[in-house]
Amino acid sequence: MAKKNLTKGVWTKGDLNLLKKLFLNHPTAQVAAKLHRPTEAVKKKASRMGLKKSKRYMKTLGRA
């Protein structure tokens, strides 16, 4: 199985804007795939930026 090329290191302004736009209402793994980054890297960056999933999104997961 071929390894996916994941971006490491520097977050561009475009990456950060996309992260802000998508993180609230989309699965973290899906956001990571769009950014070509590991899921853990996206979780850490979102946390450092103070981003959280929306209450509406969490309800769709059965969490409120």
> Which of 50, 27, 51 is closest to 39 using CA atoms?
27
What pLDDT sits at residue 2? 46
The per-residue pLDDT string of the chain (64 residues; one tens digit each, 9 = 90 and over) reads: 445 566 667 999 999 999 999 999 999 999 999 999 999 999 999 999 999 999 999 999 998 6
Residue 26 lies in domain:
13-60
For residue 8, being part of any structural domain is answered with no
Give the count of domains, the chain: 1
Rounded (10°) CA dihedral 18, 20, 46, 7: 10
For residue 29, being part of any structural domain is answered with yes
- Which residue is listed with tokens 């956001």? 31
